[in-house]
Amino acid sequence: MKGEIKKYDVIIAGASFAGLAVASKIKKGNILLIDRHEIGSFQSSACGTSVKMVKDVGCEESILKTFDALTVHTKNTVTDISIPLQFCTIDYKKFCKKLAAQNNADFLKATIRGIKDSAVVTSGGDFNADIIVDCTGWDAVLAASVEKGYVDREMLSFGIETEVPYEDNKLRFFVDPDIIKNGAAWIFPCNGTARFGVGSYAGDTQILKNLEKFVSSYGLKTGELHGGFFCYCLKEPVIKSMFVVGCAAGQTLPLTGEGIRRSVYFGLRCGEIIQRVLDNKISLERGLEEYRKYALKGEKRYADLLKAQKKLPALANWELNAICKGLSIGPVAKKAWKIYEGI
Ligand SMILES: Cc1cc2nc3c(=O)[nH]c(=O)nc-3n(C[C@H](O)[C@H](O)[C@H](O)COP(=O)(O)OP(=O)(O)OC[C@H]3O[C@@H](n4cnc5c(N)ncnc54)[C@H](O)[C@@H]3O)c2cc1C
C-alpha cells in the first residue's frame, strides 16, 4: 500500500565490523541490515586485529599474516615489544563476507539519513522496527539524528593509508614527529603487500603529504588510498531505546586506534541481548540496560589511554625510548598488556 512503512523486528544500520557482529547473533526475527556500500567493499582501516577474535567468529580464512610482537620506532631507536595476544592482518572483504554469511538479515544497500517520526529514513525508503541498532561508525547517523551533539568533532582522529607491494614480518608503529606530529604512523604487512598509514590524533585531514613522504622513505610510491575518521571517546551506548555499537559509540581505543576487536565483541554481546529480547526472555528496557553496563565497563581504561594519547606528543625522544625499553621487558609488557587489553 502506498505510503506504508515496512516494519522489521530489528534494524541494524551499518554493515561493517559492529553491524555484522550484531546481526550474526540474531537467529530469529525479521532483520534489516543497511549499508551504503556492498558488504566488505569499503575498507577504511589497516585491519590489524587479534587472531583470537578472528577465530572466535569463524573468520580465520581472512587472516593474511600473524605477529607475536609490536615493533616501535622512535626517531633513533627500534624496539620489539612482545604481546601476549597474537595479532594478525586480515583481508577485510573476506572477513566481512564470512561474518555476513552467519546472519539471516535482509540486506539493503542505501544511504541512511536519520530517524524521523520513529522511522529509519534511507535513500531506499523508510523502515520501522521495535529494535534499532546504530553501527554506522564515527558519524553515528541515527544516534546523532535523535541526540544533537552526539558526535563531537573535537574527539575524532583521522587516518590515511595505502597498501603497496612490500615484504615485512613485523607489525610496526612509528612515534616520530618527523613523520607526523601529534599522531603515529604504521606499517602492517599482509602477504606480499603492506599497509602504510599515518594518523593524526588531532583529526587533521591534511596528512597525505606525511604519508607520501613516509612511503617514499622506503623507496616506494603511494598507491590507492583509504582511511577516515574514528572516534576515540567512549560515548553513551544507549540513546533513547537505540543500541549504539562500535565506532559509533566511541568504542575505538585512544592511543592505538584499535577498534575492530572491540566493535566485534561489543556487537556480539549486543546481538545476544537482542535475541533474548526477541525470545521474550527479557524486556527491551532490561536489554538496553545490560548492554549499557557491558559497554561502559572499560570507561576508566579509556580515560587512562586518552591521557596517554594527549601526553604522547609532548614526550621527549629519550622519554619515549625509556618507555619502549621498559615495555620490552617481558613481565612489564605482560602487565601493560593486561591493563590495555581488558576484553
Ligand atoms: C586509517 C585507519 C586505520 C585503522 N586501523 C585499525 C587497525 O589496524 N585495527 C583496528 O582494530 N582498528 C583500526 N582502525 C579503527 C577501526 O577502523 C574502527 O574501530 C572500526 O572500523 C569500527 O568498526 P564499526 O563497524 O564500528 O564502524 P565502521 O567500520 O566505520 O563501519 C561503519 C559502516 O557504516 C556504514 N555507514 C556509515 N554511514 C552510513 C550512512 N549514512 N548510510 C549507510 N551506511 C553508512 C559504512 O559504510 C560502514 O560500512 C583504523 C581506523 C582508521 C581510520
- pLDDT for the residue 232: 87
Q: Look at residue 343 and tell me whether its pLDDT is greater than 50.
A: no
What residues have CB less than 8 Å from 8, skipping those under 6 apart?
Answer: 30, 31, 32, 106, 127, 128, 129
Q: pLDDT digit string (tens) for 306-339?
A: 999 999 999 999 999 999 999 999 899 888 888 8
Q: Which residues contact 148 (CB under 8 A, 6 or more apart)?
A: none
Cα-to-centroid distance, 144 and ligand 1 (Å): 17
**pTM of the predicted model as reported, rounded to 2 decimal places:** 0.97
Considering only CA atoms, which of 262, 229, 245 is closest in space to residue 340?
262
**198-233 core/surface letters (b: 16 or more CB in 10 A; e: else):** bbbbebbeebeebbbebbeeeebebeeebbbbbbbb
Give 340 or 13, the one with higher predicted confidence. 13
> How far apart (Å, rounded) are the C-alpha atoms in residues 266 and 342?
12
Give φ, ψ of 52 to 5 degrees. -60, -45
What would the grid cell of residue 336 be? 601493560
Domains and CATH numbers, the chain: 6-341 (3.50.50.60)
- pLDDT, tens digit, 9 for 90 and up, residues 120-178: 999 999 999 999 999 999 999 999 999 999 999 999 999 999 999 999 999 999 999 99
Q: How many CB atoms lie within 10 A of CB 134?
A: 32
Output the ligand 1 site: residues, CB below 6 A: 14-19, 34-37, 42, 44-49, 111-112, 135-137, 139, 141, 159, 161, 197, 227-228, 230, 246-248, 252, 257-261, 263
